[in-house]
A and B are shown apart, each in its own frame.
Chain A
């Protein structure tokens, strides 16, 4: 717990100073190099304002978030049950595992051409890609969670007379939650990474589309950088949101640091 030596105010001040430093270096490098392609921080702010005025910024952010929510939501709904089944029923697990492990290293972006021929132009293709990206980490985290439930807990549950489904609900599920949460957080990060790439095909809205379109239609690098910043900020917010869940009392035991 050495980090406690820094107060909250100090941490915030240091982070702000770091941000300021990066912006300063950025501004200076644009000025010193005399580039007229790469935008300065000021120009990006202007670009931001333009996007906001046209209503694109929020609309695009919303479209990206909706796609992530859909693809990620489906991955959670499918991934947790599959992971539990694979962890709980040994034969099912060993049957499925090689398949999962083979699909897992394939970058979701490699699925792009297939996504387009299967789902055509529209929301379905990027949602499918996000699903693929989030599904595997969730399955693997859940399966490992189930396999690592301390046998002591299962014995105690059997001793108190719980049957199979009650053990699953009252012991296995709560016991795996911290690990599953870690998997969910990881998967959400990946899903957000992938949405941007996924929006470079098949759709005409979203933050990924904003970036590729700004470049293609008039080399508007101020908007490209603006889009990147927006993606970063939303990613940060999503992660902070999931992290909050780690403070839920019945979950906290899995995240405490000794």
Chain B
């Protein structure tokens, strides 16, 4: 969908962004002078320990929170609220339990005609591998299936950008691995710009074009690591291990247990 030129234009531009939570007795600075550019069609992982403000950052970029300083621009336009062109995906908990799988995917399509809605619902049910479950309710699905459903619901409105906040955090480790390759397959097909928040180093190196490594309190960008390995990535290749270990060191962890 995106042409070559567009690929190098910044899609998301974050400039001088800070966020301070003010309460009566003290102010807590959670994010401090964040600058970041994300190219169109890029998959960027924001990696950091819990409490580093990475979720807050994603919430601000998504328009659900106002920054204390600085701006977020998407296609040059300042973000001042949530927008259907950019969809936020939660850890499977955002699916509506009173709607079927098809009903959930259809949820955001109310601006379209009946025929187009039907086509999109069918297409995205197939894309995420939920064929045969159209009329199933979410509580009858597994965690991984609910996660696929939420991704399908987000993709169905054809957004330019997807925000994923630790989307696989609640899944077991095997399902998590499967979901990562599913996400990559879908991303390669749809070429959305993806901002993916995680605290899992392996996850970030497996998925991302670039990993933004953050430090905690206040959250700052410590380093941005380019992951220059083609997909599908060999998780035992020397380059993969080198990049992963580099990030381990950057965060100050020895990878021995």
Chain A interfacial positions (CB closer than 8 Å to B): 150, 152-153, 155-156, 158-162, 166, 170-171, 174-175, 177, 249-254, 256
Contacts and interface: CB of A to CB of B under 8 A. Distances in A.
Interface string B225-241: 00000000000000000
Minimum-distance CB pairs A-B, first 3: A160-B108, A253-B97, A161-B84
A181 to B, nearest CB: 12
Interface in B81-109: 81-84, 86-88, 90, 93-94, 96-100, 107-108
Scoring A174, A177, A250 by chain B CB atoms within 10 A of each residue's CB, the highest score goes to A250
A251 B98 CA distance: 6
A177 B94 contact: no
A22 to B, nearest CB: 39
B149 interface: no
Interface string B45-78: 0000000000000000010100000000000000
A250 B98 contact: yes
B137 A252 contact: yes
Nearest to A170: B107
Given A150-B93, A253-B137, A253-B139, A159 B84 contact: yes
26 contacts: A150-B93, A152-B90, A153-B94, A155-B82, A158-B81, A159-B62, A159-B82, A159-B84, A159-B86, A160-B87, A161-B82, A161-B111, A162-B110, A170-B107, A171-B96, A174-B96, A174-B99, A249-B100, A250-B98, A250-B99, A252-B139, A253-B97, A253-B137, A253-B138, A254-B97, A256-B139
A213 B64 CA distance: 65
Nearest to B107: A160
A253 B88 contact: no
B113 to A, nearest CB: 17
B95 to A, nearest CB: 8
A159 to B, nearest CB: 4
B157 interface: yes
Given A174-B99, A250-B98, 15 more contacts: A152-B94, A153-B94, A155-B64, A155-B94, A156-B88, A156-B90, A156-B94, A160-B107, A161-B83, A161-B108, A174-B98, A249-B137, A252-B137, A252-B139, A253-B138
B88 A155 contact: yes
A158 B82 contact: yes
B9 to A, nearest CB: 24
**Chain B residues touching A, range:** 20 to 34
Contacts of A150: 93
A226 B119 CA distance: 62
Nearest to A160: B108
Given A171-B96, A250-B99, A159 B90 contact: no
A251 B108 CA distance: 21
Contacts of A160: 84, 87, 107-108, 157
B98 A159 contact: no
B63 to A, nearest CB: 8
Contacts of B88: 155-156, 159
Nearest to A162: B110
A175 B93 CA distance: 13
Nearest to A150: B93
Nearest to A161: B84
Interface in B109-165: 110-111, 137-139, 157
Contacts of B108: 160-161
Contacts of B110: 162, 166
A159 B87 contact: yes
A36 to B, nearest CB: 59
Nearest to B163: A159
A106 B82 CA distance: 46
A159 B81 CA distance: 9
B254 to A, nearest CB: 37
A179 B100 CA distance: 20
Contacts of A254: 97
A166 B84 CA distance: 15
Contacts of B96: 153, 156, 171, 174-175
Contacts of A256: 139
A27 to B, nearest CB: 48
B137 to A, nearest CB: 6
A140 to B, nearest CB: 22
B88 to A, nearest CB: 5
A152 B93 contact: yes
Nearest to B104: A156
Contacts of A159: 62, 82-84, 86-88
A253 B98 contact: yes
A171 B98 CA distance: 9
A251 to B, nearest CB: 7
B111 to A, nearest CB: 8
Interface in B148-187: 157
